[in-house]
Amino acid sequence: MHAAPYGTSVQGFRDSARPGRLTGGVDVPLLVAAVGLMGCSLYTITQATQTDIPGDPHYFIVRQAAYGAIGLVLMLLISRMDYSRLREWKAGLYGLLIGLIVIVYATGTVARGSKRAIELPFFSLQTSELGKVLLVLTLSAFAVDRMRRVGEKETTSRIMLLAIFPAMLVVAQPDLGSGMVYVSIALAILFVAGTRWTHFAALGGLAAVAIVTVVVAAPAMGVQVLKPYQMDRLTAFVNPQDNPAKQGYQQSQSLVAVGAGGRTGRGDQATQTRLDFLPEHHTDFVFSVVGEEFGFMGAALVLSLYALLIWRCLRILTVSKNLYGTLIAGGITAMFMHQVFINVGMTIGIMPITGVTLPLMSYGGSSVIVTFMALGLLQSIHAQARETAFAKGRELAL
């Protein structure tokens, strides 16, 4: 039998025909959603911040573009890693998580009454953002180790305590929004792992007791658990019209901006944004800028990209080659869903203001880079799922 011409072989042909070879196993729809959101962010921030820094209209856009480029490179690098190896480092990763949060208290810089970030040469590292990904990795690993005992109360208690401890440290910075995300991640991992519904009912009861204690009972006894401005935000959410010039100012201006956008937006006539009536218009309230500048059509485009992103996250969750990957995907999906719902909700008045950023849309190096790192883990899970499917002689469906 003659050899295959030009040195080819059946195995070589199979390798060339391997699904995803041209794209490196990358989940293309997920990549499109991420790049699309980053593009929307750059355009929106350009329109919103032209006069924010006198003499430097491109201050924010240049930095946001740099953060996006760094994040994209990290995503592609992480996508080629074997995420399963991270399970072996769970103790070290959890120690790093706690260490990064604690070090902020010693070396962090104070901004607007909060000490949340460490100043680096090129940007401020908000360690609680990086902590979200580290928490997903560590809780997923601990859950896998106790999978045979997932129905026990002890397992649920341990995983929740592992999440609540760093969450309390973050809330004390104070960063209530990130602390809530930590808890959501833990609940999602427990849910995906198959925890009994009675455990969630018990956790819900404990949460209700904690909220009543913090918001009502503790202040009545003269103990202020939350900062005054945090209580003001909660009060403004419950009764937004009581003091629209003070506690309710941010939400009131956001509602005006979103309502004024109409169907196609106001463009250059977006006075709430251009005249700085809308606070934090490049970070917490960037979705309000989208609503005013580009109207319902612009907001629908952004929300559609988030829908695509979350759909791909859920799809990757279902095709993972092992339980560890499934739990990681579940934790990351919960992280994205929580942040999108809370951020968009607070801009339209259905959620209190907690300082949660809008992934890939809000300005900020830590948020953008960490989000891309999380997407890199999802891409790694997807790539290895495709490789496993190919090895078994089948192709992974979209």
Instruction: Note the pLDDT of residue 4.
Output: 44
Give the burial class of 202: count Cβ atoms within 10 A of its Cβ; 0-12 exposed, 13-18 middle, 19 or more buried: middle
Q: Which of 116-125, 317-326, 370-379 has the lowest mean pLDDT?
A: 116-125
List pLDDT tens digits, range 367-394.
999 999 999 999 999 999 988 877 776 7
The whole-model pTM stands at 0.88
Please report, as a single letter, which amino acid is at residue 347. Answer: T
Q: How many CA atoms does the CB half-sphere of 267 hold within 13 Å?
A: 2
List pLDDT tens digits, range 87-116.
999 999 999 999 999 998 887 666 665 667
At residue 352's C-alpha, the angle toward residues 349 and 355, to 5°, is 115
Instruction: Note the pLDDT of residue 238.
Output: 63
Distance CA 258, CA 347 (A): 8
Kindly indicate the confidence band of residue 122, based on its pLDDT and cuts at 50, 70 and 90.
confident
HEC readout, the chain: CCCCHHHCCHHHHHHHCCCCCCCCCCCHHHHHHHHHHHHHHHHHHHHHCCCCCCCCCCHHHHHHHHHHHHHHHHHHHHHCCCHHHHHHHHHHHHHHHHHHHHHHHHHCEEECCEEEEEECCCCEEEHHHHHHHHHHHHHHHHHHHCHHHCCCHHHHHHHHHHHHHHHHHHHCCCCHHHHHHHHHHHHHHHHHHCCCHHHHHHHHHHHHHHHHHHHHHHHHCCCCCCCHHHHHHHHHHHCCCCCCCCCCHHHHHHHHHHHHCCCCCCHHHCHHHHCCCCCCCCCCCHHHHHHHHHHHHHHHHHHHHHHHHHHHHHHHHHHCCCHHHHHHHHHHHHHHHHHHHHHHHHHCCCCCCCCCCCCCCCCCHHHHHHHHHHHHHHHHHHHHHHHHHHHCCCCCCC
Instruction: Note the pLDDT of residue 306.
Output: 97
Would you state the structure tokens that stand for residue 149, as one six-digit string?
């005992």
List pLDDT tens digits, range 16-71.
345 444 455 789 999 999 999 999 999 999 888 887 888 888 889 999 999 999 99
List pLDDT tens digits, range 244-255.
556 677 788 888
